[in-house]
Structure 1
Amino acid sequence: MKTTASEIAREAGVSSATVDRVLNNRDGVRPRTREIVMQVAARLGYFGPMHSAAKAAVRMDFILPAGSNSFMKALRQHLIEEAQSYGNCDVKIHQIEVFDPGTLAEQLLALRGATDAVGLVALDHPEVREAVNALAQTGVHICTIVSDIPTVHKVGYVGIDNRAAGRLAGLLVGRLLPTDRQHKVALFLGSHAYRGHEEREMGFRSILSEEFPDLTIAALTEVSDDRDLAYEETLRILEKNKINAIYSIGAGNQGIARALQEKGISRKTVFVAHDITEATRVMLIDRTLDAVIDQNPKVQAREVIKLLASTVHGKSEPEYPPRLQVILRENIPSY
Structure 2
Amino acid sequence: MDKATIPDIARRAGLSTATVDRALNGRKGVSAANRHRVLKAAEELGYLPSDGMIMLPARPAHLVFLIPFGQNAFMRDLARSITSFASGLPLVASCNIVTMNGLGPDALERALDAISPQANGVGVVTTDRPRTRAAIARLCDSGIRVVTIASDVPDTPRSSYVGVDNRTAGRTAGQLMGMLARGREGQVAMMLGSRSFHGHHEREGGFRDLLRDRLPKLRVHSATETGEDNRRSNTATLELLRRVPDLLGIYCIGAGRAGIIEALETHPGPRPAVIVHDLTDSSRDWLRRELIDVVIDQNPRLVGEQAVTHLLGSIAASTPLLSLKPIEPRIILRENLPHRTP
Shorter-chain TM-score: what band?
A: 0.7 to 0.9
Mapped to 2, the partners of 1:297 and 1:289 lie a distance apart of 20
Aligned to 2:146, the other structure's residue is in SS state: strand
Mapped to 1, the partners of 2:84 and 2:90 lie a distance apart of 10
Task: Give 2:78's match in structure 1, choosing from 69, 75, 78.
Answer: 75
Aligned to 2:334, the other structure's residue is in SS state: coil
Contact 1:273 1:291 in 2 (8 A): yes
TM-score (norm 2): 0.78
Contact 2:161 2:326 in 1 (8 A): no
Q: CA deviation at 1:104?
A: 0.6
Aligned to 2:261, the other structure's residue is in SS state: helix
Contact 1:64 1:121 in 2 (8 A): yes
Task: Give 1:227's match in structure 2, choosing from 224, 227, 230.
Answer: 230
* Counterpart AA for 2:127: L
Aligned to 1:220, the other structure's residue is in SS state: strand
Contact 1:300 1:321 in 2 (8 A): no
1:210 paired residue number = 213
CA RMSD of aligned residues (A): 2.2
Aligned to 1:330, the other structure's residue is in SS state: helix
Instruction: Please give the per-residue CA displacement for 1:225-262, whole angstroms capped at 9, x wherever unaligned.
Output: 12222111111222221221000000111110110110
Task: Give 2:175's match in structure 1, choosing from 147, 171, 187.
Answer: 171
Instruction: Please give the per-residue CA displacement for 1:274-326, whole angstroms capped at 9, x wherever unaligned.
Output: 01001100111111111110010110111111111122123899987421110
2:283 paired residue number = 280
Q: CA deviation at 1:108?
A: 2.7
Mapped to 2, the partners of 1:71 and 1:250 lie a distance apart of 10
* Counterpart AA for 2:120: D
Contact 1:303 1:320 in 2 (8 A): no
Deviates more, 1:84-93 or 1:153-162: 84-93
* Counterpart AA for 1:151: D
Mapped to 1, the partners of 2:207 and 2:190 lie a distance apart of 9
Q: CA deviation at 1:334?
A: 1.6
Mapped to 2, the partners of 1:218 and 1:207 lie a distance apart of 15
Mapped to 1, the partners of 2:89 and 2:339 lie a distance apart of 22
* Counterpart AA for 1:271: V
Mapped to 1, the partners of 2:256 and 2:268 lie a distance apart of 19
Structure 1 residues 83 and 63, CA, compared in 2 at 3 Å: closer, same or farther? same
Contact 2:103 2:126 in 1 (8 A): no
1:309 paired residue number = 312
Structure 1 residues 215 and 138, CA, compared in 2 at 3 Å: closer, same or farther? same
Runs of 4+ with >3 A deviation: 109-114, 315-321
Task: Give 1:327's match in structure 2, choosing from 316, 328, 332.
Answer: 332
* Counterpart AA for 2:141: Q
Mapped to 2, the partners of 1:226 and 1:70 lie a distance apart of 12
Structure 1 residues 135 and 241, CA, compared in 2 at 3 Å: closer, same or farther? same
Q: CA deviation at 1:102?
A: 1.6
Instruction: Please give the per-residue CA displacement for 1:135-173, whole angstroms capped at 9, x wherever unaligned.
Output: 100100001000001100111100100000000000000
Corresponding pairs, count: 284
TM-score (norm 1): 0.80
1:146 paired residue number = 150
Paired residues for 1:1-335 under 5 Å: 55-89=58-92, 90-108=94-112, 110-111=114-115, 113-179=117-183, 181-242=184-245, 243-265=247-269, 268-314=271-317, 321-335=326-340
Instruction: Please give the per-residue CA displacement for 1:3-31, whole angstroms capped at 9, x wherever unaligned.
Output: xxxxxxxxxxxxxxxxxxxxxxxxxxxx9
Mapped to 2, the partners of 1:93 and 1:110 lie a distance apart of 11
Structure 1 residues 92 and 112, CA, compared in 2 at 3 Å: closer, same or farther? closer
